[in-house]
Structure 1
Amino acid sequence: MNILLSNDDGVYATGINILFEELSKVADVVIVAPDRERSASSHSLTIDRPLRVNEIKPNIYSVDGTPTDAVNIAVHSLLKTKPDIVISGINYGGNICDDVIYSGTVSAAMEGAVMGIKSLAVSLVVNKGGGYLPKDQSLEENIELSFRKAAEFVSNLALVFNKSDFSKYTLLNINIPQTIIDKENVFEYKITKQGKRYFEDFIVEEMDPRGRKYYWIWGKNIKFDDISGSDYEAIHSGIISITPIHMDMTNYNALDKLKNIDFTSYEKSRR
């Protein structure tokens, strides 16, 4: 089994390197990842400048671009054969609910899915004040142990997933609560749907030393919708969440409604 690993935390991040070690026990693994953190880069491609690739050590490469750039370059130029699976992560921090719109982690896996490759996006959910986990479950001091246990789960999942008859252009978005370290060898998971979260967005406006304004975009978490079977519900219960995400973003429920609307009627009524 050939696996391509990428992420948005950067090639030197703890999560991707621990996952590389674990997956290398069962597969041929290559890392191609951004040379630095590229969180919230979404599915952006760099087309306004050339990209540079640096071989850090055997089977580990950095790209001075986005997660999507890294996967694209890996599949089309660096790898000798098309990978069986693309895995993005393990990301530091959750990617649930609306995070999937902005996440570079999810987008790296999405690029694999766009190419028809089985793909996984994997994130370790830590509190970080984000309200994902109950307030009394902050385990920051055990972060490396949590990554290692999460990597065990992902390795098992990848072996099963590789043999499955899974539809093309669909990826699995996997979120693993840091509380996994409390459950010994038990990996409890649920197949979930995407939840909904609301932000209170605000802009920090300051002045730089040269007297020019600059702006910093930020968001304050407000609440999560209480949706049965959602990724948030699973994570908040300390259970691994596995959510299938499809590349076809057509809203099929809206198709028939739109077909019954005459979008020229306003102009007709004005005549």
Structure 2
Amino acid sequence: MKILISNDDGYLAPGIIALARALADIADITVVAPDSNRSGASNALTLDRPLSVHRAENGFYFVNGTPSDCVHVALTALMPEKPDLVVSGINNGQNMGDDTLYSGTVAAATEAYLFGIPAIAFSQVEKGWLHLEDAARIAREIVQHDFGSLPRPFLLNVNIPNLAYAEVRGVSSARLGKRHMSEPVIKAQDPSGRDIYWIGPAGAAKDASEGTDFAVTAQGYASVTPLQIDITNTKLMQALASDLA
């Protein structure tokens, strides 16, 4: 089995190191990740400058670009054969609900999905890497799962509670929840007295009802959500056609 591993926290992040270590004895792994933290990069590709690829002492490749850049370069230039699976993470913090639209972790997996390769994005619910090795063990078990009922390719988003392995109650399917609007930007000044703005934190959960990723992880399960790329609002197609007639 050949697995490509990427992330958005950068090639030195503890999450990707733990994930690579957990998968190294069950697959032929290749790691291609950003040279620095690119959280929130979403599905951006770098088109205004060339990209550089370097190899670290541990064998990981790192790219001066986005998570999508990393997977794109890996699949079209670095890997002689297409991998069987692409995994992204383990992210330092949750990617649940509306987070998936902004997440570089999910974007790396999405890029693989667009190339027709099954992909899984892994995140821990809380920041700080608590029980990271346990999360990597759960990620390994999910990677080894058959998923025989799913069409190929598939795109899965996984969030793992920051719990000891024995305390995680299992793995459960879940739908995406929803968040309230993000907090306002934080205004400050640079050393020259010019106004600068920091993007505010994500909003609190708005829909954390039964069956959502928020609810499932709060109950001690790792949540698994199947994602899709087609964002067409099919319910409005007939009404739109009527308006345009």
* The two structures share one fold, judged by TM-score above 0.5: yes
C-alpha offsets along residues 153-201 of structure 1, whole Å, 9 cap, x if unaligned?
221221224x736324530000001024452xx6512111111111342
Equivalent residue in structure 2 for 1:207, among 172, 189, 197? 189
Q: 1:34-73 to 2 correspondence within 5 Å?
A: 34-57=34-57, 59-73=59-73
Q: How many angstroms apart in 2 are the aligned matches of 1:220 and 1:246?
A: 22
Q: Percent identity?
A: 38
User: 8 Å contact 2:177–2:205 — kept in the other structure?
Assistant: no
Paired position in structure 2 for 1:266: none
Equivalent residue in structure 2 for 1:234, among 213, 216, 238? 216
Q: List runs of 5+ in structure 2 lacking aligned partners.
A: none
Paired position in structure 1 for 2:148: 164
Structure 1 letter corresponding to 2:214: Y
Structure 1 position 259, deviation (Å) = 2.2
Paired position in structure 1 for 2:102: 102
Q: 1:123-138 to 2 correspondence within 5 Å?
A: 123-126=123-126
Structure 1 position 10, deviation (Å) = 0.4
Question: Are the structure 2 counterparts of residues 223 and 149 from structure 1 closer, same or farther at C-alpha, using a change threshold of 3 Å?
Answer: closer
Q: 1:148-159 to 2 correspondence within 5 Å?
A: 148-159=133-144
Paired position in structure 1 for 2:83: 83
Structure 2 letter corresponding to 1:109: A
Q: How many angstroms apart in 2 are the aligned matches of 1:251 and 1:103?
A: 22
Structure 1 position 83, deviation (Å) = 0.6
- Runs of 4+ in structure 1 over 4 Å off: none
Equivalent residue in structure 1 for 2:230, among 239, 243, 248? 248
Paired position in structure 2 for 1:134: none
Aligned residues: 245
C-alpha offsets along residues 180-238 of structure 1, whole Å, 9 cap, x if unaligned?
4452xx65121111111113421222222223221111135344324331111101111
Greater Rg by CA: 1
State the TM-score, normalizing by the size of structure 2. Answer: 0.93
Paired position in structure 1 for 2:19: 19
Q: Are 1:189 and 2:171 matched, yes or no?
A: yes
Structure 1 letter corresponding to 2:63: V
Structure 1 position 26, deviation (Å) = 0.6
User: 8 Å contact 1:5–1:88 — kept in the other structure?
Assistant: yes
Q: How many angstroms apart in 1 are the aligned matches of 2:101 and 2:40?
A: 9
Q: How many angstroms apart in 2 are the aligned matches of 1:222 and 1:13?
A: 26
RMSD across aligned C-alpha pairs, in angstroms?
Answer: 1.9
Q: How many angstroms apart in 1 are the aligned matches of 2:15 and 2:208?
A: 30
Q: List runs of 5+ in structure 1 lacking aligned partners.
A: 129-139, 264-271
Structure 2 letter corresponding to 1:155: R
Structure 1 position 58, deviation (Å) = 5.8
Q: Give the stretch that moved more between structures: 31-40 or 249-258.
A: 249-258
Question: Are the structure 2 counterparts of residues 220 and 79 from structure 1 closer, same or farther at C-alpha, using a change threshold of 3 Å?
Answer: closer
Structure 1 position 81, deviation (Å) = 0.6
